[in-house]
Structure 1
Amino acid sequence: MASGAASGVDGAVVVVFDFDRTIIDWDSDDWVITKLGAADAFQRLRPTMRWNALMDRMMAELHAGGKTAEDIRECLQSAPLDAHVVSAIKAAAALGCDLKVVSDANTFFIETVLAHHGVLGCFSEITTNPARVDADGRLRISPFHDPTAAPHGCRLCPENMCKGKIIESIQATAGAKQQHFVYIGDGKGDYCPSLKLGEGDYVMPKENYPLWKLICKNKQLLKAEVHPWNSGEELEKTLLKLVSKMITPPAQASQFDYSKCEMSNPASTEVGHHQALRVPH
């Protein structure tokens, strides 16, 4: 990525959010499993299964216990979301940033939380593990990378998702258009995509979480500037400071229509496909 300020707003600044412990300050898998009473089954099965298969099995356990997809939705809606994070998302969207989610959660969990807090339409794309409600009413969760295809081959990432390859795909779609990235995350899986960013880009790691610790081991490996945060308020202040720095001429969120967040649904990249598909609601 070339250094220097972005020459406008619309899509010139791409803000990529992780979901668990980033947009939300908790883990969505843990929240659902614990609140809906499947913690014992989870502890029993955890040593025997890979994570995606385990989460799909947990949804089967909940279904067998009489919990419906709507129960799961209501459980997710009961969880908190920091008002500063909501404000940051709306302001960045209003300033013309292209907001995306790249997460190892799943479409059902992410869409439910973002829609409940009125910010789903702020995002142009959600890339995560696919989820669907089957004919029996059971929530099914699948890995992002098609398990029948060749593995992604990245030693830094879990087998079901390489966020670095996803970032490279987003970068490739820019074509001749100059884009600058802000990547916000917390976990080990956010390290690979951070390495894909260049000069003029920014990484916002959650302080004292795995991504931050990996970066601190050798900051010279990253070309992007690093700006840590440790609360929703700091996330908001840091993100909007960086966005304002990249936008030329400087713009104020008040000049834009916040209803953008209510206008459209994001696209969803499904397993085994490269095209973006509309998220069903």
Structure 2
Amino acid sequence: MAASNGAPLVVFDFDKTIVDCDSDNWVVDALGATRRFDHLLRHLPWNHAIDAMVGELHAEGRTAEDIRACLRAAPLSPHVAAAVKAARALGCELRVLSDANAFFIDTVLAHHGLSACFSATDTNPAHIDAAGRLTIRPYHDFGSGGAGHGCALPTCPPNMCKGKVLERILLQEQEAAAAAGSSRLRRAVVYVGDGRGDYCPSLKLREGDYVMPRAGYPVCDLIAAAPPAAAVRAWADFEDLARVLLGIVNDEIARAAVTEHAVVVPADCCRTMPLPVHQEALLPQQAAVRVPN
């Protein structure tokens, strides 16, 4: 639901964007299963390999609580936590769109007191079965009769096309605005990410939206080679993420306030209104994008 003050919708990736690690690797390494996980990856897609790995850990007596304990120690910058809370307080709707999984994400957000800041999470589903075993499934079913997501972009893994998910979110935005009969300008969308899988959703954004790629990570190379329609605002570290994001939020709120109070001048009046002697062109500012996973 759009904020009345023009605050944007902000969509975050999770791994290396909210937490400063890959959460799958973090858990596997913390539980001493790195070599076995690497072996599984030779035979299975990533999403299936992490499910098989947690299954093996369960068979050895590792519990869901053991996994939670690992995740509570995952690095999350205080700058990220502060930016999330500040953006929410300013009226932004926040969502997570991630190729991690629901159990990992929910555990981390709850531990840092951030769960209530997010309206929704789109990620690979996960649950604990009756035997206490954590099970992780792909967001888009693929293989063995599964239709998959159908995206031809090679940067999208088979289990999740974030571009398809963001398209659905944007459609819901349009439908909600139409149902409300709102005449206000649509709110901007800000997408924050780092990896190859974050390139496809950046291409779904429109003029007036923003993509915030993490500098030095794969999505920056992809965006530099073929930029999206959205404005690119790169960030180098988590303090930078907070600064760039809150700058966008404040700019969008200010823009909405100006639009709200703008005076509409009839076309006929323009013919008799003198033009100012001095006029300055407003030039859009672009952040430099530099660019491993």
Give your verdict on TM over 0.5: yes
2:20 corresponds to 1:25: yes
Which residues of structure 1 form unaligned runs of 5+? 1-5, 252-281
Partner of 1:48, secondary structure, is coil
Name which of 29, 43, 50 aligns with 2:45: 50
Q: Secondary structure at the match of 1:233?
A: helix
Name the counterpart of 1:241.
247
- Deviation track 1:136-181 (CA, whole Å, cap 9, x = no partner) reads 1110000001334422111221111111111111111112362210
Q: Deviations over 1:56-109 (max 9, x none)?
A: 001011112211000000110012210000000000001110100000000000
RMSD: 1.7
- 1:3-45 CA distance string (max 9 Å, x none): xxx98337x5100000000001111000000000111211222
- Counterpart AA for 1:22: T
Give the 3-state SS of the residue equivalent to 2:201 in structure 1: helix
Q: Which amino acid aligns with 2:247?
A: K
Partner SS state of residue 126, structure 1? strand
The 3-state SS of whatever aligns with 1:87 is helix
Q: Which residue of 2 aligns with 1:150?
A: 147
Q: Which runs of 4+ in 1 moved over 6 A?
A: none
Q: Provide the identity percentage.
A: 55
Structure with bigger RCO (C-alpha 8 Å, 6+ apart): 1
Counterpart amino acid of residue 205 in structure 1: P
8 Å Cα contact 1:244-1:250 kept in structure 2: no
Q: Secondary structure of 2:11's partner?
A: strand
Is the 2:3–2:91 contact (alpha carbons within 8 Å) kept by the matching residues of 1?
no
Q: Which has the larger radius of gyration?
A: 2
Residues of 1 paired with 2:91 and 2:27: CA distance? 34
Tell me the number of residue pairs that the alignment of Structure 1 and Structure 2 aligns.
243
Q: Where does the alignment leave 5 or more consecutive residues of structure 2 unmatched?
A: 258-293
Match of 1:192 among 171, 176, 200: 200
Alignment partner of 2:42: what SS?
helix
Q: Aligned partner of 2:77: which letter?
A: D
